[in-house]
Amino acid sequence: MTSPMFERIALVGIGLIGSSLARVIRREGLARHIAIATRSKSTLKRAEELGLGDSYTTEAKEAVRDADLVIVSVPVGSSGEVAAEIAPALKKGAILTDVGSTKASVIAQMQPHVPDGVHFIPGHPLAGTEKSGPDAGFADLFDNRWCIFTPLPGTDPEALEKLSEFWRRCGSNIDTMDPQHHDMTLAIVSHLPHIIAYNIVGTADDLESVTKTEVIKYSASGFRDFTRLAASDPTMWRDVCLHNKDAILEMLARFSEDLASLQRAIRWGDGEKLFDLFTRTRAIRRSIIEAGQDIDVPDFGRQVVEHPGAKP
Ligand SMILES: NC(=O)C1=CN([C@@H]2O[C@H](COP(=O)(O)OP(=O)(O)OC[C@H]3O[C@@H](n4cnc5c(N)ncnc54)[C@H](O)[C@@H]3O)[C@@H](O)[C@H]2O)C=CC1
Ligand SMILES: O=C(O)C(=O)Cc1ccc(O)cc1
Protein backbone atom coordinates (compact mmCIF):
# COMPACT_ATOMS: atom_id res chain seq x y z
CA MET A 1 0.00 0.00 0.00
CA THR A 2 1.26 3.51 -0.84
CA SER A 3 1.90 5.75 2.18
CA PRO A 4 -0.95 8.11 3.11
CA MET A 5 -0.78 11.71 1.85
CA PHE A 6 -1.32 13.05 5.38
CA GLU A 7 -0.47 11.68 8.83
CA ARG A 8 -3.49 13.29 10.47
CA ILE A 9 -6.52 14.92 8.85
CA ALA A 10 -8.93 16.81 11.11
CA LEU A 11 -12.53 17.12 9.96
CA VAL A 12 -14.38 19.89 11.76
CA GLY A 13 -18.10 19.34 11.04
CA ILE A 14 -19.24 15.87 10.08
CA GLY A 15 -22.46 16.41 8.13
CA LEU A 16 -23.06 15.53 4.46
CA ILE A 17 -19.75 16.97 3.26
CA GLY A 18 -17.54 16.13 6.27
CA SER A 19 -18.79 12.54 6.40
CA SER A 20 -18.40 12.08 2.62
CA LEU A 21 -14.81 13.27 3.03
CA ALA A 22 -14.26 10.86 5.94
CA ARG A 23 -15.52 7.98 3.79
CA VAL A 24 -13.42 8.78 0.72
CA ILE A 25 -10.31 9.53 2.84
CA ARG A 26 -10.66 6.08 4.41
CA ARG A 27 -11.38 4.33 1.10
CA GLU A 28 -8.40 5.94 -0.65
CA GLY A 29 -6.06 5.64 2.36
CA LEU A 30 -5.34 9.39 2.32
CA ALA A 31 -4.64 9.73 6.08
CA ARG A 32 -3.12 7.59 8.81
CA HIS A 33 -5.48 9.16 11.35
CA ILE A 34 -8.88 10.83 10.81
CA ALA A 35 -9.78 13.12 13.73
CA ILE A 36 -13.43 14.15 13.85
CA ALA A 37 -14.83 17.16 15.68
CA THR A 38 -18.34 18.45 15.79
CA ARG A 39 -20.21 20.63 18.23
CA SER A 40 -23.24 18.46 18.81
CA LYS A 41 -22.80 15.37 21.01
CA SER A 42 -25.52 13.42 19.20
CA THR A 43 -23.93 14.03 15.76
CA LEU A 44 -20.53 13.02 17.15
CA LYS A 45 -22.02 9.83 18.62
CA ARG A 46 -23.59 9.00 15.25
CA ALA A 47 -20.26 9.58 13.45
CA GLU A 48 -18.64 7.17 15.91
CA GLU A 49 -21.39 4.56 15.38
CA LEU A 50 -20.77 4.84 11.64
CA GLY A 51 -17.02 4.37 12.24
CA LEU A 52 -16.18 7.46 10.20
CA GLY A 53 -12.93 8.33 12.00
CA ASP A 54 -10.18 7.25 14.40
CA SER A 55 -10.85 9.79 17.16
CA TYR A 56 -13.89 11.87 18.12
CA THR A 57 -14.28 15.07 20.12
CA THR A 58 -16.66 17.97 20.61
CA GLU A 59 -13.57 20.22 21.02
CA ALA A 60 -12.40 21.26 17.55
CA LYS A 61 -9.03 22.41 18.93
CA GLU A 62 -8.34 18.87 20.18
CA ALA A 63 -8.94 17.42 16.73
CA VAL A 64 -6.76 19.93 14.87
CA ARG A 65 -3.76 19.59 17.22
CA ASP A 66 -0.93 17.99 15.17
CA ALA A 67 -3.12 17.75 12.05
CA ASP A 68 -1.38 18.30 8.69
CA LEU A 69 -4.69 19.00 6.97
CA VAL A 70 -7.73 20.61 8.60
CA ILE A 71 -11.02 20.72 6.67
CA VAL A 72 -13.78 22.91 8.07
CA SER A 73 -17.21 21.68 6.86
CA VAL A 74 -19.73 23.74 8.82
CA PRO A 75 -22.46 26.18 7.70
CA VAL A 76 -20.72 29.28 6.30
CA GLY A 77 -22.04 31.52 9.08
CA SER A 78 -20.10 29.45 11.64
CA SER A 79 -16.71 29.64 9.81
CA GLY A 80 -15.42 32.60 11.85
CA GLU A 81 -16.16 31.11 15.26
CA VAL A 82 -14.60 27.78 14.23
CA ALA A 83 -11.46 29.55 12.93
CA ALA A 84 -11.16 31.52 16.19
CA GLU A 85 -11.52 28.33 18.22
CA ILE A 86 -8.96 26.23 16.34
CA ALA A 87 -6.39 28.94 15.52
CA PRO A 88 -4.21 28.57 18.68
CA ALA A 89 -3.98 24.78 18.19
CA LEU A 90 -3.03 24.74 14.48
CA LYS A 91 0.36 23.22 13.66
CA LYS A 92 2.97 25.27 11.78
CA GLY A 93 2.99 24.12 8.14
CA ALA A 94 -0.56 22.72 8.33
CA ILE A 95 -3.00 23.25 5.47
CA LEU A 96 -6.32 24.76 6.56
CA THR A 97 -9.20 24.62 4.08
CA ASP A 98 -12.99 24.76 4.02
CA VAL A 99 -15.83 23.60 1.78
CA GLY A 100 -18.24 26.52 2.16
CA SER A 101 -20.65 27.45 -0.62
CA THR A 102 -19.67 31.14 -0.43
CA LYS A 103 -16.08 32.32 -0.49
CA ALA A 104 -15.58 36.08 0.10
CA SER A 105 -17.45 35.97 3.41
CA VAL A 106 -15.71 32.78 4.59
CA ILE A 107 -12.32 34.37 3.82
CA ALA A 108 -13.29 37.56 5.68
CA GLN A 109 -14.40 35.49 8.68
CA MET A 110 -11.51 33.01 8.82
CA GLN A 111 -8.39 34.78 7.54
CA PRO A 112 -7.92 37.17 10.49
CA HIS A 113 -7.54 34.17 12.81
CA VAL A 114 -5.07 32.17 10.70
CA PRO A 115 -1.64 32.11 12.39
CA ASP A 116 1.60 32.73 10.45
CA GLY A 117 2.99 29.53 8.97
CA VAL A 118 -0.44 27.94 8.38
CA HIS A 119 -1.52 27.63 4.74
CA PHE A 120 -5.13 28.78 4.47
CA ILE A 121 -6.62 27.73 1.10
CA PRO A 122 -10.38 28.32 0.76
CA GLY A 123 -12.22 25.67 -1.27
CA HIS A 124 -15.64 24.61 -2.48
CA PRO A 125 -16.55 21.18 -3.83
CA LEU A 126 -19.44 21.61 -6.30
CA ALA A 127 -21.00 18.41 -5.12
CA GLY A 128 -23.87 17.80 -2.78
CA THR A 129 -27.45 16.77 -2.31
CA GLU A 130 -30.48 18.07 -0.42
CA LYS A 131 -29.65 15.79 2.52
CA SER A 132 -27.63 16.67 5.61
CA GLY A 133 -25.99 15.00 8.61
CA PRO A 134 -23.41 12.18 8.93
CA ASP A 135 -25.72 9.45 7.57
CA ALA A 136 -26.22 11.34 4.30
CA GLY A 137 -22.59 11.21 3.13
CA PHE A 138 -21.14 8.78 0.62
CA ALA A 139 -17.61 8.16 -0.68
CA ASP A 140 -18.46 8.78 -4.36
CA LEU A 141 -19.94 12.25 -3.78
CA PHE A 142 -16.96 14.10 -5.27
CA ASP A 143 -16.45 11.80 -8.24
CA ASN A 144 -15.99 13.76 -11.47
CA ARG A 145 -17.24 16.96 -9.83
CA TRP A 146 -15.43 20.30 -9.68
CA CYS A 147 -13.62 21.54 -6.62
CA ILE A 148 -12.93 25.28 -6.82
CA PHE A 149 -10.14 26.96 -4.87
CA THR A 150 -10.04 30.70 -4.28
CA PRO A 151 -6.42 31.06 -3.13
CA LEU A 152 -5.29 34.23 -1.40
CA PRO A 153 -2.42 36.30 -2.80
CA GLY A 154 0.90 34.78 -1.70
CA THR A 155 -0.45 31.23 -1.28
CA ASP A 156 2.37 28.68 -1.17
CA PRO A 157 2.20 26.83 -4.55
CA GLU A 158 3.39 23.58 -2.92
CA ALA A 159 0.56 23.65 -0.37
CA LEU A 160 -1.93 24.43 -3.17
CA GLU A 161 -0.62 21.53 -5.24
CA LYS A 162 -0.81 19.17 -2.25
CA LEU A 163 -4.41 20.14 -1.55
CA SER A 164 -5.25 19.84 -5.27
CA GLU A 165 -3.77 16.34 -5.31
CA PHE A 166 -5.85 15.45 -2.23
CA TRP A 167 -9.07 16.52 -3.98
CA ARG A 168 -8.06 14.75 -7.19
CA ARG A 169 -7.66 11.58 -5.15
CA CYS A 170 -11.15 12.21 -3.76
CA GLY A 171 -12.31 12.09 -7.42
CA SER A 172 -12.62 15.81 -8.20
CA ASN A 173 -11.41 18.08 -10.98
CA ILE A 174 -9.74 21.29 -9.83
CA ASP A 175 -10.32 24.92 -10.83
CA THR A 176 -9.13 28.15 -9.26
CA MET A 177 -10.68 31.61 -9.41
CA ASP A 178 -10.95 34.72 -7.30
CA PRO A 179 -13.54 34.74 -4.50
CA GLN A 180 -15.76 37.48 -6.01
CA HIS A 181 -15.97 35.65 -9.32
CA HIS A 182 -16.78 32.42 -7.46
CA ASP A 183 -19.57 34.09 -5.50
CA MET A 184 -21.12 35.71 -8.59
CA THR A 185 -20.95 32.47 -10.60
CA LEU A 186 -22.34 30.33 -7.80
CA ALA A 187 -25.11 32.86 -7.18
CA ILE A 188 -26.58 32.06 -10.61
CA VAL A 189 -25.80 28.34 -10.94
CA SER A 190 -26.52 27.23 -7.39
CA HIS A 191 -27.88 29.84 -5.02
CA LEU A 192 -30.66 31.24 -7.24
CA PRO A 193 -32.00 27.79 -8.21
CA HIS A 194 -32.34 26.96 -4.50
CA ILE A 195 -34.01 30.30 -3.72
CA ILE A 196 -36.42 29.89 -6.63
CA ALA A 197 -37.21 26.35 -5.43
CA TYR A 198 -37.85 27.53 -1.85
CA ASN A 199 -40.10 30.24 -3.28
CA ILE A 200 -42.19 28.12 -5.66
CA VAL A 201 -42.73 25.40 -3.05
CA GLY A 202 -43.59 28.12 -0.51
CA THR A 203 -46.14 29.57 -2.98
CA ALA A 204 -47.71 26.12 -3.41
CA ASP A 205 -47.80 25.71 0.36
CA ASP A 206 -49.69 29.02 0.71
CA LEU A 207 -52.48 27.87 -1.64
CA GLU A 208 -55.91 27.00 -0.26
CA SER A 209 -56.00 23.56 1.36
CA VAL A 210 -57.96 21.77 -1.43
CA THR A 211 -55.51 22.94 -4.08
CA LYS A 212 -52.56 22.11 -1.81
CA THR A 213 -53.73 18.50 -1.50
CA GLU A 214 -53.88 18.36 -5.28
CA VAL A 215 -50.41 19.85 -5.59
CA ILE A 216 -49.09 16.90 -3.60
CA LYS A 217 -51.30 14.32 -5.31
CA TYR A 218 -50.64 15.43 -8.88
CA SER A 219 -47.14 16.86 -8.49
CA ALA A 220 -45.59 16.55 -11.93
CA SER A 221 -41.88 15.88 -12.18
CA GLY A 222 -41.09 19.57 -12.73
CA PHE A 223 -42.59 20.50 -9.37
CA ARG A 224 -41.04 17.46 -7.71
CA ASP A 225 -37.57 18.58 -8.88
CA PHE A 226 -38.17 21.87 -7.10
CA THR A 227 -39.27 20.09 -3.91
CA ARG A 228 -35.97 18.21 -3.81
CA LEU A 229 -33.98 21.46 -3.79
CA ALA A 230 -36.47 23.05 -1.38
CA ALA A 231 -35.85 20.18 1.07
CA SER A 232 -32.22 21.31 1.49
CA ASP A 233 -30.89 22.17 4.94
CA PRO A 234 -32.47 25.42 6.29
CA THR A 235 -29.43 26.46 8.36
CA MET A 236 -27.02 25.97 5.49
CA TRP A 237 -29.17 27.91 3.02
CA ARG A 238 -30.04 30.70 5.45
CA ASP A 239 -26.29 31.20 5.84
CA VAL A 240 -25.64 31.08 2.07
CA CYS A 241 -28.29 33.80 1.51
CA LEU A 242 -26.93 36.00 4.29
CA HIS A 243 -23.27 35.51 3.30
CA ASN A 244 -23.55 35.96 -0.48
CA LYS A 245 -26.07 38.77 -0.21
CA ASP A 246 -24.73 41.18 -2.86
CA ALA A 247 -24.19 38.61 -5.61
CA ILE A 248 -27.56 36.95 -4.92
CA LEU A 249 -29.40 40.30 -4.96
CA GLU A 250 -27.68 41.21 -8.25
CA MET A 251 -28.75 37.92 -9.85
CA LEU A 252 -32.26 38.15 -8.38
CA ALA A 253 -32.66 41.62 -9.90
CA ARG A 254 -31.74 40.31 -13.35
CA PHE A 255 -33.96 37.28 -12.85
CA SER A 256 -36.94 39.45 -11.87
CA GLU A 257 -36.50 41.65 -14.94
CA ASP A 258 -36.39 38.61 -17.21
CA LEU A 259 -39.41 37.09 -15.47
CA ALA A 260 -41.35 40.33 -15.99
CA SER A 261 -40.45 40.21 -19.69
CA LEU A 262 -41.62 36.59 -19.90
CA GLN A 263 -44.84 37.53 -18.11
CA ARG A 264 -45.38 40.31 -20.66
CA ALA A 265 -44.83 37.91 -23.58
CA ILE A 266 -47.47 35.55 -22.15
CA ARG A 267 -49.92 38.40 -21.50
CA TRP A 268 -49.57 39.77 -25.06
CA GLY A 269 -49.53 36.38 -26.74
CA ASP A 270 -46.00 36.88 -28.06
CA GLY A 271 -45.45 33.26 -29.12
CA GLU A 272 -42.31 34.09 -31.09
CA LYS A 273 -40.59 35.52 -28.03
CA LEU A 274 -41.56 32.49 -25.95
CA PHE A 275 -40.41 30.08 -28.65
CA ASP A 276 -37.06 31.89 -29.08
CA LEU A 277 -36.33 31.84 -25.34
CA PHE A 278 -37.28 28.19 -24.96
CA THR A 279 -35.07 27.29 -27.94
CA ARG A 280 -32.11 29.18 -26.46
CA THR A 281 -32.46 27.53 -23.04
CA ARG A 282 -32.79 24.08 -24.57
CA ALA A 283 -29.35 24.59 -26.14
CA ILE A 284 -27.86 25.24 -22.67
CA ARG A 285 -29.18 21.89 -21.44
CA ARG A 286 -27.62 20.18 -24.46
CA SER A 287 -24.25 21.86 -23.78
CA ILE A 288 -24.35 20.62 -20.17
CA ILE A 289 -25.01 17.07 -21.34
CA GLU A 290 -22.24 17.29 -23.95
CA ALA A 291 -19.83 18.50 -21.24
CA GLY A 292 -20.73 15.43 -19.17
CA GLN A 293 -22.10 17.56 -16.32
CA ASP A 294 -25.68 16.25 -16.07
CA ILE A 295 -25.15 14.22 -12.93
CA ASP A 296 -28.75 13.94 -11.80
CA VAL A 297 -29.74 13.67 -8.18
CA PRO A 298 -33.36 12.53 -8.47
CA ASP A 299 -35.47 12.45 -5.35
CA PHE A 300 -36.03 9.15 -3.58
CA GLY A 301 -32.55 7.78 -4.12
CA ARG A 302 -29.47 8.68 -6.06
CA GLN A 303 -28.72 7.72 -9.59
CA VAL A 304 -25.40 8.92 -10.90
CA VAL A 305 -25.39 9.02 -14.67
CA GLU A 306 -22.03 7.86 -15.98
CA HIS A 307 -20.39 9.75 -18.84
CA PRO A 308 -17.43 7.99 -20.36
CA GLY A 309 -14.59 10.38 -21.06
CA ALA A 310 -16.18 13.18 -19.04
CA LYS A 311 -12.98 13.94 -17.10
CA PRO A 312 -10.91 16.67 -18.75
N1 LIG B 1 -24.94 20.21 1.28
C2 LIG B 1 -24.37 20.43 0.12
O3 LIG B 1 -24.88 19.99 -0.90
C4 LIG B 1 -23.08 21.21 0.05
C5 LIG B 1 -22.62 21.96 1.13
N6 LIG B 1 -21.47 22.69 1.04
C7 LIG B 1 -21.02 23.48 2.19
O8 LIG B 1 -20.48 22.56 3.11
C9 LIG B 1 -20.66 23.03 4.44
C10 LIG B 1 -21.28 21.91 5.26
O11 LIG B 1 -22.50 21.54 4.68
P12 LIG B 1 -23.18 20.13 4.95
O13 LIG B 1 -22.15 19.11 5.25
O14 LIG B 1 -24.13 19.91 3.86
O15 LIG B 1 -24.00 20.48 6.28
P16 LIG B 1 -24.58 19.51 7.40
O17 LIG B 1 -25.69 20.24 8.06
O18 LIG B 1 -24.83 18.15 6.86
O19 LIG B 1 -23.35 19.42 8.42
C20 LIG B 1 -22.84 20.53 9.12
C21 LIG B 1 -21.98 20.03 10.26
O22 LIG B 1 -21.39 21.15 10.93
C23 LIG B 1 -21.52 20.98 12.33
N24 LIG B 1 -21.45 22.30 12.94
C25 LIG B 1 -22.29 23.33 12.80
N26 LIG B 1 -21.81 24.40 13.47
C27 LIG B 1 -20.64 24.01 14.03
C28 LIG B 1 -19.68 24.65 14.83
N29 LIG B 1 -19.82 25.92 15.19
N30 LIG B 1 -18.59 23.94 15.25
C31 LIG B 1 -18.43 22.66 14.87
N32 LIG B 1 -19.32 21.99 14.09
C33 LIG B 1 -20.40 22.68 13.69
C34 LIG B 1 -22.86 20.25 12.48
O35 LIG B 1 -22.95 19.59 13.73
C36 LIG B 1 -22.74 19.25 11.33
O37 LIG B 1 -21.93 18.16 11.72
C38 LIG B 1 -21.50 24.30 4.33
O39 LIG B 1 -20.67 25.42 4.45
C40 LIG B 1 -22.09 24.24 2.94
O41 LIG B 1 -22.29 25.54 2.41
C42 LIG B 1 -20.66 22.62 -0.07
C43 LIG B 1 -21.03 21.87 -1.14
C44 LIG B 1 -22.29 21.12 -1.18
O1 LIG C 1 -28.40 19.19 -4.38
C2 LIG C 1 -28.05 19.89 -5.33
O3 LIG C 1 -28.59 19.84 -6.44
C4 LIG C 1 -26.95 20.86 -5.16
O5 LIG C 1 -26.85 21.80 -5.91
C6 LIG C 1 -25.98 20.58 -4.09
C7 LIG C 1 -25.05 21.68 -3.76
C8 LIG C 1 -25.42 22.59 -2.79
C9 LIG C 1 -24.55 23.59 -2.42
C10 LIG C 1 -23.32 23.70 -3.02
O11 LIG C 1 -22.49 24.67 -2.64
C12 LIG C 1 -22.92 22.80 -3.99
C13 LIG C 1 -23.80 21.78 -4.35
Q: Which of 125, 109, 102 minimizes the C-alpha distance to 241?
A: 102
Check whether 135 has a pLDDT greater than 90: yes
Among 59-68, 70-79, 241-250, 281-290, which is the least confidently predicted range?
281-290
The answer to ipTM > 0.90 is yes
- CA dihedral for 65, 70, 75, 79, sign (positive or negative): positive
Q: Is the CB of 170 under 6 A from ligand 1?
A: no
| CA–CA separation, 65 and 33 (whole Å) | 12
What's the 280 CA to ligand 1 centre distance in angstroms?
A: 36
The residue length of the chain stands at 312
Query: What's the farthest any 2 CA atoms get from each other in the chain?
Result: 68
Parallel/antiparallel/unpaired status of strands 55-57 and 31-37: parallel
Mean pLDDT of the chain: 93
Q: Which residues, including other chains, have CB under 8 Å from residue 18's CB and lie 6 or more apart?
A: 11, 12, 36, 38, 71, 73, 134, 137
At a CB cut-off of 8 Å and minimum separation 6, what does 70 contact?
Answer: 9, 10, 12, 64, 86, 90, 94, 95, 96, 97
Check pocket membership of 16 for ligand 1, CB cut-off 6 A. yes
Choice from 16, 129, 238 to test ligand 2 binding pocket (greatest atom count within 8 A of CB):
129
% the chain with pLDDT above 90: 85
Best mutation site among 74, 195, 228, 232 for ligand 2 pocket (most ligand atoms within 8 Å of CB):
232
Antiparallel, parallel or unpaired: β 123-125 and 95-98:
unpaired
Task: Count the alpha carbons within 13 Å of 215 in the hemisphere toward its beta carbon.
Answer: 17
pLDDT value for 312 = 32
The per-residue pLDDT for range 211-244, each reduced to its tens digit, is: 888 888 888 888 999 999 999 999 999 999 999 9
Predicted TM-score (pTM) of the model is: 0.93
Q: Above 90 in pLDDT, residue 305?
A: no
Q: Using most ligand atoms within 8 A of CB, pick from 24, 42, 74 the residue to mutate for ligand 1.
A: 74
Q: What percent of the chain has pLDDT over 70?
A: 94
Check residue 295 and give its pLDDT: 64
